[in-house]
Amino acid sequence: MSMGRSGSPNGRFGRVSPSGLSLARLEQFWLKPVDAAPYVVARTGYGLLVTGWALSLVPDFDLIFGSQSLNDPFYPTWRVLSLFRFVDQPLVLGAGLAALIVSGAAVAVGHFTRLSLPLAALLQISLADYASAWSIGAESVMRLIGLFFGAFGLITATDRQGTATTAGHPGANPNGMIARWPVLLVQLQILLVYLTSGLEKLRGAEWQEGSAAYHALEIEHLRRFEAPEFLTSTSVLVTLMSWSTVIIELGLPVLLIWPRTRKLALLLAVILHLGFDVFLELGFFGPAMVVGLACFLDAPSAKRLLRRWPFRG
């Protein structure tokens, strides 16, 4: 059976609306089976990411969640769906943090993903909401990836979510393929991050004149490693850094969408984030974006990465 203009023959999903858009076509778009390997790479990265994020909270647990918390209980405004909206005793928050470390690790090794993936996403979002006074863009990227992957984990049986071993082997194992919607949603989100950020920069006077990188490197409280003096004292380099950031961010959406330039785009994106991460204190933003970028990997590259991963799920 093929899905042409008439759609599925069972009638329920097969009606094509006058505009040519039907539920059947949308289903084909979102539910089309694709190789699970890129998703498994991204999911593994997400597991490592939330585990690392949770572990980084441990030294400051008492100041953020504990009896000595600096958190004003009236401060966070976006706790509508948070697990800790009504029950926020330190013991409960501590149990939540411990559960996030365990579930994040389970996601990273591909175990019980129907439970561990949505649980890790829900706990990460809830803890980040509780600690919203300590949050920056990194937590937003993690939240959005968690929402899409968590929803997929929840509604898809574990043995249909793909593993490092079975990804891409549809004949040998039914979980070699997945519906592509979680990958598509994360891809869309990543494209929008670059596009929006690039367009905003394009409108800024300092980005236009090319001095933005110079000023950014001078913000002490955001500094990770001090930039070499030749970088900030050479006007041409400063201008080049500023403009190349804008050009790469605006170019990435196009380069990532076009399969022929996708590898180049991934390389540019990783270099961009490495550059940010060396000089600026952005926490988990770079790693979170790289996890999202993994959704753009082609299946053979993703499989090569998975072969190096010791935990096969």
Partner 1 sequence: MKPEEPFEDYRVRNHGPTGPAVTIGCTVVALSLLLWNMPIPGLRGAYRDMTAPAYGIARLNQNWGLFAPEVSQTSLFVHIELVHADNSVTRLDFPDGEPFIGTYRAYRWSAFEETLYEEPELQDHVLEWAVNQVDDPSSVVRAELIAVESDVSTGTSGPFVATYVRDVVASFEPT
Report the nearest approach of partner 1 to the CB of residue 227 (Å). Answer: 11
Site for partner 1 in 72-111 (CB under 8 A): 72, 74-75, 77-78, 80-81
In this chain, which of 16, 48, 99, 140 binds partner 1, going by CB under 8 A?
Answer: 140
In this chain, which of 100, 214, 269, 306 binds partner 1, going by CB under 8 A?
Answer: 214
In this chain, which of 15, 33, 89, 98 binds partner 1, going by CB under 8 A?
Answer: 33
In this chain, which of 66, 90, 94, 170 binds partner 1, going by CB under 8 A?
Answer: 170
Q: What gap in Å lies between CA 152 and CA 10, rounded to an integer?
A: 26
In this chain, which of 15, 85, 224, 307 binds partner 1, going by CB under 8 A?
Answer: 224
Report the nearest approach of partner 1 to the CB of residue 277 (Å). Answer: 9
DSSP string of 143-173? HHHHHHHHHHHHHS-GGGS--TTTTT-TTT-
Q: What gap in Å lies between CA 114 and CA 116, rounded to an integer?
A: 6
Stretch that binds partner 1, among 105-113, 185-193, 252-260, 296-304 (CB under 8 A): 185-193
In this chain, which of 13, 61, 112, 243 binds partner 1, going by CB under 8 A?
Answer: 13
**Would you call 35 helix, strand, or coil by DSSP?**
strand
Report the nearest approach of partner 1 to the CB of residue 264 (Å). Answer: 22
Report the nearest approach of partner 1 to the CB of residue 287 (Å). Answer: 9
Contact of 307 with 40, CB cutoff 8 Å = no
| DSSP state letter for 223 | B
In this chain, which of 125, 183, 248, 255 binds partner 1, going by CB under 8 A?
Answer: 125
Using rule CB under 8 A, residue 67 touches partner 1: no
Q: What gap in Å lies between CA 88 and CA 71, rounded to an integer?
A: 11
In this chain, which of 68, 85, 258, 307 binds partner 1, going by CB under 8 A?
Answer: 68
Site for partner 1 in 225-254 (CB under 8 A): 225, 229, 232-235, 237-239
Amino acid letter for position 268: L
Cα–Cα distances in Å, from 31 out to 14, 177, 180, 185? 15, 11, 6, 12
CA angle, 193 then 195 then 199, to 5°: 120
Site for partner 1 in 269-308 (CB under 8 A): 281-284
Task: Kindly state the number of chain residues that form the binding site for partner 1, as judged by CB under 8 A.
Answer: 98
Give residues with Cβ within 8 angstroms of 143, minimum separation 6.
Answer: 124, 125, 128
Q: What gap in Å lies between CA 41 and CA 306, rounded to an integer?
A: 7
Stretch that binds partner 1, among 86-94, 206-214, 252-260, 300-308 (CB under 8 A): 206-214
Cα–Cα distances in Å, from 45 out to 39, 245, 289, 299? 10, 25, 10, 16
